[in-house]
Structure 1
């Protein structure tokens, strides 16, 4: 028996606002059913990629994530993507770039959830 990964679910204090941030990051749309103030908001990914579901929880994030997403830019370099995400409201958390151009950057979204930006597809193929 197999299973299909439907959503990656993220606890949030403000689901709609965080989903809007991630919609800007990914270029994926919010569900047409979601409105500001909803307790659950879905960022719809292109099939077969799982969507990002943000759900309201009463407690704030208190520790480093045990699971995070690694992203590979497709249209920009890693460093251009880091700059773009910083302008959207992400924060640099840990910088693992090397002088030789290798490595990745760990960032935090506006609610402090960690994610990584790796070298782009173009950079990997160069």
Structure 2
């Protein structure tokens, strides 16, 4: 049998602030209630979690692994606008003619992508 994911760890200067920010971004992750000054977590589907761990050093290079988000109840562009309003910043905008994605960064500079919706990729008109 192969391994299964337990959690994904993300380095942070302020784990609580990062967990609170990502809780606003992801509707399928909720605070685990067991955070302290060195780590804070969000519980997600199937028992998987995001765990933010305090580290002393600042982020200096591009992430080797990142989260890709797919909007559920709004368009990709509407979701990008919402996330920018929450404090994300644009790293690279690869959106073109209804395709592509936007690369954003969270308040501590960790990159993530916002993809098109599944309906957009399937060519289904949204109502």
TM-score of the pair, normalised by structure 1: 0.91
Runs of 4+ in 1 over 6 A off after TM superposition: none
Q: CA deviation digits over 1:34-75, x for unaligned, max 9?
A: 2xx521111110215x31100000101011111111111111
Preserved contact between residue 74 and residue 122 of structure 1 (Cα < 8 Å): no
* More contact order relative to length (CA 8 Å, sep ≥ 6): 1
Task: Return the alpha-carbon distance in structure 2 between the equivalents of residues 101 and 91 of structure 1.
Answer: 20
Q: 2:119 aligns with which of 119, 122, 125?
A: 122
Structure 1 unaligned segments of length 5 or more: list them: none
Does structure 2 retain, via aligned residues, the 8 Å contact 1:8–1:52? yes
Count of aligned pairs: 122
Q: Pick one of 83, 99, 106 that aligns with 1:102.
A: 99
Which residue in 2 is equivalent to 1:41?
A: 40
11-20 vs 37-46, which deviates more? Answer: 37-46
RMSD of Structure 2 on Structure 1 (CA): 1.2
For the residues of structure 2 that align with 1:56 and 1:75, how far apart are their CA atoms? 33
